[in-house]
């Protein structure tokens, strides 16, 4: 029984890390692909896996957040100039 438990633990550790590694790879591939292809669709869902699609969507979300932040900064600068 002890040997079986040890074998199961090893199997979970080995196969669990493989699937987590694959998910991270697919996510990273989606993120990089979106960056290289200048994707702007926040609802992108046409990739080869959910993890890939999530990477694409996260890239788009980050770009939109950066753009909003930049736009707010530009608006604040314009507001300060009109007050002077």
Domain locations in the chain as residue ranges: 22-83
Neighbours of 62 (CB within 10 A): 13
To the question of pTM greater than 0.85 for the whole model, the response is no
Q: CA–CA separation, 83 vs 12, rounded Å?
A: 64
Confidence of residue 9 (pLDDT cuts 50, 70, 90): very low
The pLDDT, as a whole number, for residue 71 is 75
The pLDDT, as a whole number, for residue 81 is 60
Tens of pLDDT, residues 12-41 = 445 554 445 666 899 999 999 999 999 999
Decide: 73 and 50 in contact? Cβ < 8 Å. Answer: no
The pLDDT, as a whole number, for residue 46 is 96
What DSSP string describes 16-77?
A: HHHHHHHHHHHHHHHHHHHHHTT---TT---SSSHHHHHHHHHHHHHHHHHHHHHHHHHHHH
């Amino acid at each position: 029984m002890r040997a079986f438990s040890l074998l199961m633990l090893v199997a979970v550790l080995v196969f669990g890390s493989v699937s987590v590694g694959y998910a991270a790879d697919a996510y990273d591939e989606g993120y990089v692909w979106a960056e290289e292809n200048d994707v702007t669709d926040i609802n992108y869902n046409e990739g080869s896996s959910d993890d890939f699609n999530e990477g694409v969507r996260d890239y788009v979300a980050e770009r939109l957040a950066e753009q909003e932040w930049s736009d707010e900064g530009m608006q604040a600068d314009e507001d300060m100039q009109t007050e002077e």
